[in-house]
Structure 1
Amino acid sequence: MSISRVFLLSLLKHRQTSNYCLKNFKYRLRPRNLSSPLCYSHAFLSENLRSRFDNDCRTIPHVKCWNCDYTLECERDKFFCRKCSRIQPPVKCVNYFQYLGLPVVYDIDPDLLTESFKKLQARLHPDRFSNKSQLLKHSDIARAVNSVKLKKSQRPQRSISHPEQKHSALQASIINKAYKTLLEPLSRALYLLELYDFSFDEKIISVDDVELLNEVMQLNESIMDAHAEQVEKIAEKVRRILHQLQKDFSVQFKQAVEKGDFNESFRTASKMKYYVAALKNADKKLGFL
């Protein structure tokens, strides 16, 4: 018996358990209001703490600007303080779509995504804050010197660290991660499910579609045994399947937001993962990876 057949039988053995998990998955960690995604910070809250908040960012306490103590609004002031224009540390109540100024939907314009990313990258790059962030104001140094008589060697130095460069590095890191996540159709789909508190756990992926599993395993076997021309044909077939799955997910996700049932879009995302893995195997065989 081939390894693939043994693997298939092992999956079938646990089919009942996996199906049970999927049927009950929609009741796990479901937010109370599915008409809007969870705030970015809610993903880091415990179940008890999350119940104290609804899905509106306005219920999360406002934060103060580290420089001028001005009260900041979560989404509006996610990068800079509107009063003193100082760069701020990343906020947790803004998701990747909001960071890049995009609607929270699956079908996004890749060109618009890239354009928004490049603009933010230029604004938030740490090099822009390397000079002014490492120097304290002359007035601050003067006050420190006049407040107490110190020897010359003990006086405050201008190279004392300042928060802006650190904040810009953190902001740039999040922007990069947001761009990479939203650029790929699969990672974008999984992230959307996570925003609605529908975490993608490999341990509870349904294996009820035996034909799908069998087809994917046969694809991988064919890729391993085929020559370059055949692998290219298989890869093209997988790309067509993925394109259709992406269209299906787009429709299903819109319906899921309206109905509050994400099981169908979850199944489609599971299928996408299988075929993306098969496509990567084909690319490796062709030497693209």
Structure 2
Amino acid sequence: MLGVSPMAAMEPVRKLLIKFFSMERLGRALTDSLSQRWARPPGCRAMCVSPSPACVGARLRVSMRTNMQPLRAWPGGSASNHYHHCCTRTFSLSAQGRLCWSCQAAMTMDELFCPACHSLQPPDETKDYFQVLDCEKTFDVNIQELQKKYRNLQRFLHPDYFSQKSHVEREMSEKQSSLVNKAYNTLLSPLSRGIYLLSLRGITLEEGTDSVVDPQFLFEILEISEQLNDCNISSEIEDIGNFVQEKYDSLTGEVRNAFQQGDLHGAKLLLAKMKYFSNIQNQVKKKILP
């Protein structure tokens, strides 16, 4: 039995997109691209409203939102079923769509690779570092999960994998990989992660933090620094390093509690103290490994 043609099935969503975006060109581009993918997925020689397993396999695409694993194939069925799944899962009628730079196919902002021509896309500059690595926007980040997502992304984005690609894709790979590296290094450290979280809320931790910490704390830091400068014995330097690390870890726990309670001012004061201990940690490393 003949099914509904893809173009006919897409007519209602075409009208809705045109109305939603108030841009006929973008509305037609989105629906035409989707209709073509229904009609002739890669490797399919015939019109397929209800695709075979081979055609369904051709629809698999890489998505960052699923840790770089292929999305589940859309289930077989009528044209209306495909219409429902495509609209709700692929495009979701969101203003966050874009066109592929290479083939002009419609795609979402979350997609790193074009689902039609598989070209790597430029970074989305509107995303924060948590979104880049697909992590929950919280201070209490799961480090193992963060490392896993970082490695998965770099398996697809590292410039080494694009050495035989076009100049454009090589440049995009460098930008994508650099952004992922920067996001990962920022979120990996409790100090930089906390400072970044504050920046997302419009709070800046200035370079000179003397004005936000109490004089007694500054006096304690001065004493530790003087002790470290006078030390030349490895065991004593390591003792100071362990003491400073304990202080740093204790402050990390306090910062976590402050963010959980929504106390951004308290988090700022604690992070300012963490910066001092972080600086001493660097001094300890230099003395141990000159």
Q: After TM superposition, is the score higher than 0.5?
A: yes
**Residue aligning to 1:224:** 229
| Residue 102 (structure 1) aligned with residue 158 (structure 2) | no
In the alignment, which of 261, 271, 290 is matched to residue 255 of structure 1?
A: 261
**Residue aligning to 2:100:** 65
Query: Structure 2 matches for 1:226-245, cutoff 5 A?
Result: 226=231, 227-245=233-251
Verify the 8 A CA contact 2:150 2:180 in the aligned structure 1. yes
Measured in 2, the distance between the counterparts of 1:67 and 1:93 equals: 21
Report the Cα offset of residue 82 of structure 1.
Answer: 3.2
Residue aligned with 2:101, SS: coil
**Residue aligning to 2:214:** 209
Report the Cα offset of residue 240 of structure 1.
Answer: 0.8
Measured in 1, the distance between the counterparts of 2:206 and 2:264 equals: 14
Verify the 8 A CA contact 1:207 1:213 in the aligned structure 2. no
Query: Structure 2 matches for 1:1-289, cutoff 5 A?
Result: 62-74=97-109, 76-77=110-111, 79-131=112-164, 133-134=165-166, 162-203=167-208, 206-226=211-231, 227-256=233-262, 262-287=264-289
Q: Which runs of 5+ in 2 are unaligned?
A: 1-92
- Normalising by structure 2, we get a TM-score of 0.63
Deviation string 1:32-65 (CA, Å, 9 cap, x unpaired) is xxxxxxxxxxxxxxxxxxxxxxxxxx99764332
Deviation string 1:88-107 (CA, Å, 9 cap, x unpaired) is 11111211111112111111
Computed over aligned residues only, the root mean square deviation of the Cα atoms, in angstroms, reads: 2.1
Q: Percent identity?
A: 32
Verify the 8 A CA contact 2:97 2:106 in the aligned structure 1. yes
Deviation string 1:83-138 (CA, Å, 9 cap, x unpaired) is 4322111111211111112111111222211111111111012232222x33xxxx
Residue aligned with 1:63, SS: strand
Q: Which runs of 5+ in 1 are unaligned?
A: 1-57, 135-161
Bigger relative contact order (CA 8 A; separation at least 6): 1
Measured in 2, the distance between the counterparts of 1:81 and 1:212 equals: 54
Measured in 2, the distance between the counterparts of 1:206 and 1:72 equals: 49
Verify the 8 A CA contact 1:206 1:267 in the aligned structure 2. no
